[in-house]
Structures are given as C-alpha cells and as structure tokens.
Structure 1
Amino acid sequence: MKPYVVYSVITGAYDKLLPLDIAESDVDYILIVDNAFSGEVPPGWNLMKLPESSLSHKDLNRYIKMHPHLLFPQYECSVYVDGNIQVVSALKDVIDNALASKDIALYKHYKRDDVYSEASECLELGLDYFWRVIPQMARYKANGFQGNALYEASVIFRRHHSCDLKRAMELWWKEYLGNARRDQLSLTFCLSTANVIVNNLGISDPRIEQKYFVKKTHAVYRPDKLSVRLTAKLNKLLLAVLPQKKLVK
C-alpha cells in the first residue's frame, strides 16, 4: 500500500489547474477531472478522468471529495484540496503530523466557530434555501448536536481506511444530497455521529498563513449573482414571518 495521495477535483471547468512545483517520492499528486476539462496538465500532476455521470458538476465534485476510501484504496492517507487552492510546499511531514493521532485533520473556519451561525450566514447570503437549511438544523438540534465546532472543508487530511471515518464520509454524502448543498453545515455533525475526533489544525493556512496552501479565486464565478440575491431576499422574508427562524440562531 502506498503512503500518501494529494488530490484535487475540477468539474465543469469551474477552476483552472494551478501549477505544482513540488516533487515528493512518497506523495502522489492526482488531478481528477470530468469530460469538460480540456486543458493541459502541468508537470507534477497525474490525471484521472472520470466516466460520464448523471450527477451535476457540483454534486460530482462533492462525491469525489467525500469518498477517498473508494477512489484510492491503494493509499493509506489522502489530502483533498479544493480546485482553487494551490499547494506551495512539500506535504509529507505535514501529513505525518496532522494524522499522527487522529484519522482526520481540518483547519478551523476563518470567521465563525459554530455550525448554527454558519447556517444563518448561508441563509442571509442566499447560498441555499430556507426550506433546506431550517429543517436540517432543527433535526440536528433535536438530536442534541451542539454545533460548537466549524471547520473549513477546502483542505481535508484523512487516514481514510478508518472504519469510523468511512462511516462518517458516507453519512456526509447522504446529508449533503438530502439537505442543504453546503457541505460545511453537515461535516461536523457527521463526524460527531460516527464518533470521529478531529485534529483541529487551527488558523486556516490557505486563507491566512499560506505556508503550505494558497487560496485563489475560482476560474468561473458560481453561483449566479442574481439567483443568490433573490434567494437571500426570499430567505429574509421567510425568516421574518415564520417562527422557525430561531432554530439557526
């Protein structure tokens, strides 16, 4: 079994492939793309093309993000990085440290520290619909989920063969498909449900410290600005007149 894989996903030409000037003997760098990809692959990346899928570009991206245990059975550990994040330093030692005692390691959210505040922000910004977010958060509260940890899902270190972690990832996919299409809202709940303890890596490296990763802008803006504004206005109206608004506060 190989030790490490670092992988990124580009679907629907949403991101432009970022250069990789790193060579590590124990780490394979794999770029996963769909049929919309037509660019050249810079040195350092190995290309993996996906077969046709009935999933949307976004949902296909999330499936790949959540299933390293199915995609990379030959590797012990994986690091997922969003398509708009550039790897700027060697990662072998970082992976070893991140996964020394836990099966998953994440950077904390750069602004908020609980899931329910993030849900409120998503509603106010129009990033998802009221009728998806509110029932989801209500169910989490009814299950006793405190929501007092929020992580960024743009870089994910995993020892992905852990049975509990595989269960958490399958649940994450199920929660994502059946609820809000904001995967950060369900990640902590799924990990908690599967009894997976997170190694909190602290301040967001891609956004702030940028020692190993640098966050770039997406090549294509998504979602549509008008659609987001209309969703935000609709959510605001519903939050003002319905009592369920308290569930995400």
Structure 2
Amino acid sequence: MDRLDYVAAIERLNSDFIKERKSRAQKIGNAFLKYSTAISHLHFSKVFQLFRDNIAAKIIAKKYTKEIHSPSILPKDLNFREKKIVVYTCVVGNYDQIPEPLLKYDNVSFVAFVDNPDMFKNKESQWKYSPIPRKLETLSPTLMNRYLKFHPSELFGDYEYSIYIDGNIRIVSDIRTLIQNCGDKTGLAMHRHGARDCVYDEAMVCLLYRRGSAKKIKEQMAKYCSEGFPKNYGLNEANVIVADLKNNRSSNLLNEWWNELLRTGSLRDQLAWPYVLWKNELTIDDVGCLGVDVYSNLKFQINKHN
C-alpha cells in the first residue's frame, strides 16, 4: 500500500472511531462506568461531583453552547516534507498519559518534557524524554507546562516549526501538514473552540465546572469588560498550537500570552488568548485554523482528562 493510501485509510478508521465515541450510547456507557466505579469504591464525594458536573453540563448545553463553523482557509503551499519540525509536550507525574505517535517521519522530532527522564532510559519510543529546564523547578506543574507551551522559539531554535500537543493526545496520522495552516499575521495555528466563541461564556463554563480560581476568573473578566473587550470575539482551543518559529510575531504573541496568564492568576489560558489578540489589533481569523475542535480532527485521538 502506498504511504499516502495508508494515511488516508488510518484517517477513515479514525473517523469511524470519532463518530462512535460521540454517539449517545457511548456517552451513556461512559457515564454508567464512572458512576458505578465511584460507587463500588465508596467514593461518595466523587459520586456527588459527577452528579454536580452533570447538572453543570445541562446548564452549559442550554446556555453556553452553539454551533461553530470552521472558516474555509486554503493552506499555504509549503513543502512540509522538507521543513524541520518538532512536536513536543510536557507531562509532570502521570507518564501513562503520553501516547506513542503512530507514524514516523525523517523531518519530525518528538520531545516530551518530564520531571524524571531517567525512568525512560530503556524505553523504545519516538519521544525523546527531556528534563524540565532547571529554571522552571520552582513553578507549579501547571505553570511548568504553560511556560514550555508558550516558549517554543526559546526551546527549539534549530527548528523551523513547532507543534505543541497536550499529553493526552495521540498522533495517528501525518501531522506535518498542519504547518501549512499558520496565519501570516500571527505565525500560529490552532483549532477553533467547538462549542463557544465568547470568552465571557467560557469563563462561566469554567466557574460551573470549578476550573481555576473563581475569584481570579471573575476579576479577569471584570477587567476585560471595563477595558471594552467585546463579547463573541472568538475562541481558540489551546491543546494544539502550531508555531512558525521563523516568524517573530509568533514568539512575541506567545510570550504576551504567558505574561497575561501570570498577571491574571486564573491559570485558564483559553481566557487570556482572545484578549491578547485584541490588544494587538488582531482577530481569531488571523490565527490559522486547524478545524473546529481537536476532537473532530482525524489526525488525533484524545484520551479525555478525568
């Protein structure tokens, strides 16, 4: 089978997998498994949390969910087979969350930043397990991840493009093509958010699911509102970030994103990103689009966080 035919066949299979995973039967089965597991282990606080999250999910579906359409963007005509690309992630502690890439390409390197790389000395993997830089050791695991996520030009100066992925994402297809989507004005590409296009709505979802500091999120949104930051400005997912490392705008914007994340203290990077774009007189459309939500991208399979 030709390599391109092989990749196409993988994506067709992944399409069926994604459809099955999104099916009502699968969702009911997953919910039953979570409840039954919690009950069997007498984790009643977990049962209460699941019940509370179910109520929150119904509110979110009714008030803060809409159909998002991906814009039709013609990818750049780049010879992605010739570009030097690094794919990287950062996982602290739970190493079982780093899935192995399915395919291998000569012009792609895989780097996983972990806090104990000696554990992987004898592991056969495409991932090169690298230590967390010493200067980050005083940061929390979340901030360690965010610093590495937002500073690819500092980490990978010898590469032309970087692709950050969350540690629960498995690459099952040819990821190199994603570099063609980088926006010229930003040097970046991400997925659109699959359910919302408003940072204020996303903040409410974070509050309902108790993600991040409620006090800091409210202060952050109050500040944005007082400055005139508009509703429905657009929203990206931040679990996959493609950066053109030869475009200085990408490193500048990512560094501003990091600084805004620190300033707000909410630790919710999705909330800070649209504001950073707005302050730089940019829009979501200036960020290259990888599609509507990573869960629908045929190049990936996602292990959802608990």
Q: Same fold (TM over 0.5)?
A: yes
Matching residue of 1:6: 87
Paired position in structure 2 for 1:172: 257
1-side partners of 2:207 and 2:117: how far apart? 31
2:271 maps to 1:185:
yes
2:218 aligned counterpart, secondary structure: helix
2:298 aligned with 1:211: yes
> What is aligned with 1:38?
119
Separation in structure 2 between the aligned mates of residue 14 and residue 130 of structure 1, nearest angstrom: 29
Could you tell me how far apart the structure 1 residues matched to 2:85 and 2:257 are? 23
Alpha-carbon spacing, 1:33–1:2, altered in 2? closer, same or farther (3 Å): farther
> Mean alpha-carbon deviation: is it higher for 14-23 or for 46-55?
14-23
Superposed displacement of residue 151, structure 1: 0.8
Secondary structure at the counterpart of residue 215 of structure 2:
helix
Any conservation in 2 of the 1:160–1:166 contact (CA below 8 Å)?
A: yes
Match of 2:23 in 1: none
Unaligned runs of 5+ in 2: 1-81
Match of 2:211 among 114, 127, 148: 127
- Is the aligned partner of 1:99 residue 2:154? no
Name the residue aligned to 2:228: 144
Work out the CA distance in 1 between the residues paired with 2:110 and 2:151: 16
Matches of 1:140 and 1:202 in 2, distance apart? Answer: 27
Aligned residue number for residue 290 of structure 2: 201
Amino acid at match of 1:138: A
Distance in structure 2 (CA, Å) of the matches to 1:120 and 1:78? 32
The residue matched to 1:168 in structure 2 has which SS? helix
Call closer, same or farther: CA 1:189–1:42 in 2, change over 3 Å: farther
One-letter code aligned to 2:213: Y
Given that residues 171 and 301 in structure 2 are in contact (C-alpha distance below 8 angstroms), is that contact kept between their aligned partners in structure 1?
yes
Q: Which whole-Å CA distance do the structure 2 matches of 1:10 and 1:18 have between them?
A: 11
Distance in 2 (CA, whole Å) between partners of 1:42 and 1:110 is 35
Residue of structure 2 in register with 1:17 after alignment: 98
Q: Secondary structure at the match of 1:145?
A: coil
Runs of 5+ consecutive residues of structure 1 not aligned to the other structure: 222-249
46 and 129 in structure 1: CA distance in 2 versus 1, 3 angstrom threshold: closer
Q: List per-residue Cα deviations over 1:99-118 (Å, max 9, x = no partner).
A: 27451111111221111100
**How does the TM-score come out when normalised to structure 1?**
0.78
Give yes or no for contact 1:164–1:195 (8 Å, CA) kept in 2. no
More helix by share: 2
Give the number of equivalent residue pairs. Answer: 216
The CA RMSD over aligned residues, in Å, is 2.3
Aligned to 1:117: 201
1:190 counterpart SS class = helix
The residue type paired with residue 86 of structure 2 is V
Q: Evaluate the alpha carbon distance shift between residue 24 and residue 195 of structure 1 in structure 2; reply closer, same or farther with a 3 A threshold.
A: farther
Q: Deviations over 1:47-98 (max 9, x none)?
A: 2222441011111011111110111111111110000000111122232x21
Change (3 A) 1:57 1:14: farther
- Higher fraction of strand: 1
Partners of 1:121 and 1:132 in 2: CA distance: 14
CA-CA distance at 1:37 after TM superposition: 7.4
SS where residue 237 of structure 2 aligns?
A: strand
Residues 168 and 190 in structure 1, CA contact (< 8 A), matched pair in contact too: yes
Alpha-carbon separation, structure 1, partners of 2:104 and 2:151: 25
Query: Which residue number in structure 1 is paired with residue 20 of structure 2?
Result: none
Pairwise CA distance, 1:2: 6.3
Q: Conserved in 1, the CA contact under 8 Å of 2:91 and 2:145?
A: yes
In 2, the alpha carbon distance for the partners of 1:216 and 1:57 equals 19
**Mean alpha-carbon deviation: is it higher for 24-33 or for 75-84?**
24-33
